Amino acid sequence: MKGIGVSPGISIGKACVIRKIKSSIHEIPPESEADILKEVERFDLAVQQAVLDIEILLDKGKHTLLTEELAILETQIEFLTDPQLKEDVQIKISTEHKPVSIVLEEVIQGLIELFGQMDDEYLRTKAEDFNDIGKRILMHLNGGQATDQLLLPHDPCILIADDFSPSETISLDVTKVIGIATRLGGKNSHTAIIARSKGIPAVAGCGESLNQVCDNDLLIIDGLEGLVWINPDEANITKYTILQEEYRKHSEWLKSLKDTPALTTDGHKISLKANISAVEDMETVFEHGGEGVGLLRTELLFMGHESFPTEEEQFEFYQQIAGKSRQMPVMVRTIDIGADKQQPWLNLPAENNPVLGYRAIRICLDRPDLFMTQLRAILRASKFGKLKIMFPMISSLQELRSSKAMLMEAKKQLADEKISFDMDIETGIMIEVPSAALIADILAREVDFFSIGTNDLCQYTLAVDRMNEQVAYLYDPYHPAVLRLIQQVIQKARHNQIEVSLCGELASDPQATLLLMGLGLTGFSMSAASIPHIKNIIINNSIERARVVAQKVMLMEDSEQIKTYLQLINP
């Protein structure tokens, strides 16, 4: 079966199939004020029990859980105790006179749809958290008990399921689980994130064909190629046993590179940073040998709030990030909301083409009260670390200058108030709109650095909504037009002697590493877990070879030819 390889590695073992049964709910709608109050009280009690479940998980795992796992559980407690969740449930019970269980499902489904439609992959994973806490609250409403510890066989096994909730994945006894395959999910599902962090080979998105797997079937999980073999023959077992040992040795080698500088064989330094969204992510950056943060997404700070976070709330967040940065650079992207990242407190109108509409820097410049609050908070935190400010979605010189003017005003306000901050804080922009790429020479004279966001740059250049399944096949970062824009941006940045990095998905694609280096890129930012693999490519190649690769690629006429060539030179 073909799926999506979401956690690399190979495992061979017997299947343990987890089948889940949905509970049916039959309740009487509340009519009187007393009935409504009773339903709200039931909700409050169920939430308290759900929080207790997670606190127990946290307490049991405080010395054993990884940073990523602790962060997921802590986030779920924040969601459970968010006053907005209770308010939404209470209003629907009062106005629609529905039982709390029905209301809960509707509210949670609304949050799942809100986050699930977002373009940002990290934020899309939050939909799983809401699904998880919704099921947990519902279980307590029905008088059930938490069953976080899945009952597994005594022998090591490969888990087969539709999918796993975040808390189920975290509580897995990894001594019993050697592989995972799920019918649903993708590369950034919680199952994938935790499987990678625990070193469990996993394949997601296998589809309905996974239903044919039975308990005790012999399976091979190939998390590298996204394959699941059912009851393989001896030849395949022998083949994958050899591959499994080779991968184990390679993984040990990658771990040893944590403190190795990312230097090419001819002595050129490449900077490897990480993309993060939370304070807890900082530790994983350094665990994988990262040299700071190339993209701090600030959106999560604004999601799920009933109002715009105050300056103090934002300052505390940025200060914590700076405090954990070890004085390494942290590029803070100002708020990128709107379009797929809607917020109720913004009261944004519906748009036919939201990705091309009112979002990111456009909202900030239109709402200077919001923008000024964030800029002041970032500046105040800048004295605690090497923070840099990065404006997203810049499409013109006028937008950039307006943004810089707002920043200057924020600095003036703080100076007048005698509040200290880094007067020399560096300022840069995301290059993710074709118009910005085409005038990169003009923009470069106004900023300290560029960060190329290939995800948006690709979809805007090719007129492809990558979230639309009907046209997603056209989304292609190796399209010659996209590569030419990247090349132009790098050249203009280098000509104007400013820093340039790339923080889109292309940065973590091993097939693209030599090409990007050959185009002159010296800064990559990616998920922390991808850093060792990319570093290994860098330290085993020269800039001279990378330039030859880039020269050949830039003469090619179509992406299929480019990808075939890159696969040949990157076995």
Judged by phi (left if over 0) then psi (alpha if -120 to 50, else beta), residue 537 lies in: alpha
Q: Which residue type is seen at 413? A: Q
CA-to-CA distance for 520 and 501, rounded, in angstroms?
A: 10
Pick the CATH number of 4-18+150-233 from 1.10.10.10, 3.50.30.10, 1.20.1260.10, 3.40.50.300: 3.50.30.10
Exposed, middle or buried, 59 (CB in 10 Å: 0-12/13-18/19+)?
exposed
CB 315 within 8 A of CB 301: no
CA-to-CA distance for 425 and 243, rounded, in angstroms?
A: 49
Checking if the pLDDT of 566 tops 50, the result is yes
Residue 204, phi then psi, degrees to nearest 5: -115, 170
| pLDDT, position 364 | 92
- CB atoms under 10 Å from CB of 229, counted, come to 17
152-200 per-position pLDDT tens digit: 666 889 999 888 776 666 666 667 889 999 998 877 676 787 787 677 8
Q: Which of 66-70, 435-439, 527-531 has the lowest mean pLDDT?
A: 66-70
Instruction: Tell which residue, 516, 515, 518, has the closest CA to residue 565.
Output: 515
CA dist 418 → 411, 424, 425 (Å): 10, 16, 17
| pLDDT, position 141 | 85
414-428 per-position pLDDT tens digit: 999 999 999 999 999
Q: What angle do CA 117, 119, 120 make, to 5 degrees?
A: 115
Which helix (H) or strand (E) segment is 177 a member of?
A: strand 177-182
| pLDDT, position 396 | 97
- Give the end-to-end CA distance of the chain in Å, rounded to a whole number: 23
pLDDT-based confidence at residue 371 (cuts at 50, 70, 90): very high
pLDDT-based confidence at residue 44 (cuts at 50, 70, 90): very high
- CB atoms under 10 Å from CB of 471, counted, come to 14
CA-to-CA distance for 88 and 148, rounded, in angstroms?
A: 27
Residue whose token pair is 């993060």: 276
| pLDDT, position 192 | 80
33-141 fold: Enzyme I; Chain A, domain 2 (1.10.274)
| CATH class label, 271-569 | alpha beta
Tell me, rounded to whole angstroms, the distance of Cα 346 from its chain centroid. Answer: 23
Largest CA distance in the chain: 78
Q: Which residue type is seen at 513? A: T
CA-to-CA distance for 450 and 485, rounded, in angstroms?
A: 13
CA-to-CA distance for 7 and 206, rounded, in angstroms?
A: 14
Q: Which of 76-85, 269-278, 542-551 has the lowest mean pLDDT?
A: 76-85
pTM: 0.71
Residue whose token pair is 């649903």: 184
Residue whose token pair is 């990247």: 486
CA-to-CA distance for 519 and 548, rounded, in angstroms?
A: 10
Q: Within the chain, which residue ranges are assigned CATH 3.20.20.60?
A: 271-569
| pLDDT, position 167 | 65
Q: Which residues contact 415 (CB under 8 A, 6 or more apart)?
A: none
Q: Which residues are catalytic?
A: 190, 503
Instruction: Establish how many alpha carbons lie within 13 A of residue 70's alpha carbon, considering only the half-sphere containing its beta carbon.
Output: 15
Q: Within the chain, which residue ranges are assigned CATH 3.50.30.10?
A: 4-18+150-233
